[in-house]
Chain A
Amino acid sequence: MPVENATVTADSLLDVERTWKDRLAYLWRFLWRDRGGLVGLIVFMIVVLAAIFAPAISTQDPFEQNLRASKLPPAWDEGGSWEYPFGTDSLGKDIFSRVIYGTRVSLMVGLFGVLIASILGLIVGAIAGYVGGRLDETIMGMVNLILSLPYLLFVVFIAAVLGRSLLNVILIFGITDAPIFARVTRGEVLRIRQSGYVESAISAGARWPRIIFDHILPNLIGPLITLATFEMSRMIFYEAGLGFLGLSVPPHEYPTWGNMLAAGRKYLTSYPWMATFPGLAIMFTSLGMNLLGDWLRDVLDPRLRRSRK
């Protein structure tokens, strides 16, 4: 990858003088050069659009049971019909429509989970990085300790104690994921504080609110968006896992990929499609978001790119 060129693009993106049109043009050029990022963005858009337009896209009511049409195979298999493109589950509910509606819970968990985690992490990390000294040592010591615990084990444990609900799942991910955001924020704040422009702002007499809002926060956005993309993908993944263990959103409330996997597992050998399609949906989303995250990291954070050359 031509490094000089890339640096120009990244600098230009953060350049305040540029118009939005210019920035979009740069973004597009960068997207075109890195096909992986383009694929990731398209996949992400497809998932978002599927969530928004779920009622229009799905062929059936995702809750409607139809015992006469139960356990139908996918349309391209013998005995399937295009009325139920991905087949039906044990109660005759349309798997395609349920996969489409499933994007809603996944995106909601990912979006709100990341929102809570990033706000908590931003506050804690910024205080640690800005104040420094003993407070910083104590906070980061605790954050590193928490991050060394087996994450999945505790998510499962807490979910089992609190009981199944969408709000619980969002809160669990939002709180348990905050330490990662705190660590990244703190590192960035330290780096920005030591940079020349903050020093010159301080020597020019700028007070702390101005330094934080004009100098530090805008520079945090890039790394945090990148992290948020990866963490969102991770949360979608873990939510499906919780659903698979029967610890996420109750199945009668909303179709979710994890619940579908759990239901499909019972019929694994005789009706494999019931577990296949929700799993493919998780993989598709996760793959797209990881590609998008890689690309965002390159565009928004030129320092990290050095290690990739």
Chain B
Amino acid sequence: MQRYFLSKIGQSLLLIFGVLLLVFVMVRVTGDPAALMMPRESTAEEIEAFRERMGFNDPVTVQFLRFISGAVVGDFGNSLHFKTPAMPLVLQRLPATVQLATVGLLMAVIVGIPIGLIGGFNPGRIADSLGRLLALLGQSVPNFWLGLMMIIYLGVKLRWFPTFGRDEWKSVIMPAFVLGLPVMGQLVRLTRSAVLEIRGEDYIRTAHSKGLELRTIYYKHVLRNIAIPLVSVIGVQFGYMLGGSIYIEAIFAWPGMGGLLEQSIGWRDFPLVQAIAVFTSIVVVTLNLLTDITYAIIDPRIRYAR
């Protein structure tokens, strides 16, 4: 058990180091970082001065050591746009992104799992077909486009929800719905197929032949067993939502990390871009680690299989 956890933690640390390496290589080695970060109309002298100031003229190994030793203490240099350290700017935006992802995930779970259950218990019926259609739509509709359409119709025409920002509780509804929609589709499919699979297991047949009430079978045997795969998928999806809200935050001007990423790309503010990429990865990797550990605790089969 302990060895399993330790190896998982080791893998996560390795992955974060890999992310740092990737970010460093992409920005410093694949091209000229000074040209990347300076405005397009800058003169050659300005770029040269900037390069000297940022230390881009030093040997790559020196730069890498500097980058890593900064990253360990959360120092990614100053944002070029705000002229203040990049990391605190990212941390400021974290609560908004977490709120958006949490509400989106809740919506997806509340809608997706019941629909999946209904479909799984009544395969082939109309409710099942409708559920599958909904899942298909949820996974096929481009969510950034759906966001635009909701702004036009629900925001501007009907005035039900505010179209941008995070000023009142209603602000979160549209972006969270759009962000949660693909997850909802996936949860419908997954719940449905998990129910179908478990219904075919021997122990369910035994329960039926013992004459147990249907309700007991569903609650005690089926629901408990689908909970295990669902927990892991929900954990992973939450991570994806935290890292994948860029489009949605940009559309709704949601003041989270994704929106900041979009803006900082526009400003060519790469210290800030780096800080967002690394920090979001750390959050997602930590979440995945927690999911793995929870999973191992709920389901002893995972632990003993190693």
Report the Cα distance A149→B16, complex, angstroms.
10
A307 touches B139 (CB 8 A): no
Report the Cα distance A261→B244, complex, angstroms.
19
A contact residues around B139 at 8 Å (CB)? 290
B204 to chain A, nearest CB (A): 14
B262 touches A245 (CB 8 A): yes
A154 touches B277 (CB 8 A): yes
B contact residues around A161 at 8 Å (CB)? 26-27, 30-31, 36, 270
Report the Cα distance A160→B281, complex, angstroms.
17
The residues of B with any CB-CB pair to A shorter than 8 Å are 11, 14-15, 18-19, 22-23, 26-27, 30-31, 36, 123, 136-137, 139-142, 144-146, 148-149, 151-152, 156, 193, 196-197, 200, 236, 239-240, 242-244, 246-247, 250-251, 261-262, 265-266, 270, 273, 277, 280-281, 284-285, 288
B contact residues around A272 at 8 Å (CB)? 152
A-B contact pairs, 9 of them (CB 8 A): A149-B19, A150-B280, A157-B273, A160-B273, A161-B31, A261-B144, A265-B251, A287-B136, A308-B196
Chain B residue at smallest Cβ distance from A278? B145
B247 touches A241 (CB 8 A): yes
A150 touches B284 (CB 8 A): yes
A150 touches B196 (CB 8 A): no
B145 touches A148 (CB 8 A): no
Chain A interface residue count, CB cutoff 8 Å, equals: 42
A/B pair count, beta carbons within 8 Å: 123
B contact residues around A308 at 8 Å (CB)? 193, 196
With known contacts A150-B242, A157-B26, A279-B145, A245–B15 Cβ distance under 8 A:
no
Q: Pick the 3 closest A-B CB pairs, nearest first.
A: A150-B243, A279-B145, A287-B140
Report the Cα distance A148→B142, complex, angstroms.
22
B239 touches A150 (CB 8 A): yes
A153 touches B148 (CB 8 A): no
Identify which of B140, B243, B266, B285 contacts A286 (C-beta below 8 A).
B140
Q: Does A244 contact B (CB under 8 A)?
A: yes
Interface centre among A149, A247, A269 (most CB of B within 10 A): A149
A309 touches B196 (CB 8 A): yes
Interface SS of chain A? helix
Interface SS of chain B? helix
B193 to chain A, nearest CB (A): 5
B241 to chain A, nearest CB (A): 9
Residue interface mask A234-255, B partner, CB < 8 A = 1: 0001001100111100000000
Chain B residue at smallest Cβ distance from A230? B139
B142 touches A241 (CB 8 A): yes
Report the Cα distance A160→B246, complex, angstroms.
13
B contact residues around A153 at 8 Å (CB)? 243-244, 246, 261, 277, 280-281
Q: Does A217 contact B (CB under 8 A)?
A: no
B contact residues around A247 at 8 Å (CB)? 265
B142 touches A237 (CB 8 A): yes
B contact residues around A141 at 8 Å (CB)? 11
Report the Cα distance A154→B144, complex, angstroms.
18
B148 touches A268 (CB 8 A): yes
Chain A residue at smallest Cβ distance from B148? A275
B contact residues around A160 at 8 Å (CB)? 265, 273
B contact residues around A145 at 8 Å (CB)? 11, 14-15, 18
Report the Cα distance A230→B292, complex, angstroms.
26
A156 touches B152 (CB 8 A): no
Q: Which of A263-280 contact B (CB under 8 A)?
A: 264-265, 268-269, 272, 275-276, 278-279
Residue interface mask A144-179, B partner, CB < 8 A = 1: 010011111110111011100000000000000000
Chain B residue at smallest Cβ distance from A236? B142
B19 to chain A, nearest CB (A): 7
B232 to chain A, nearest CB (A): 12
B contact residues around A291 at 8 Å (CB)? 136
With known contacts A153-B281, A157-B277, A244-B247, A283–B142 Cβ distance under 8 A:
yes
Identify which of B145, B261, B280 contacts A282 (C-beta below 8 A).
B145
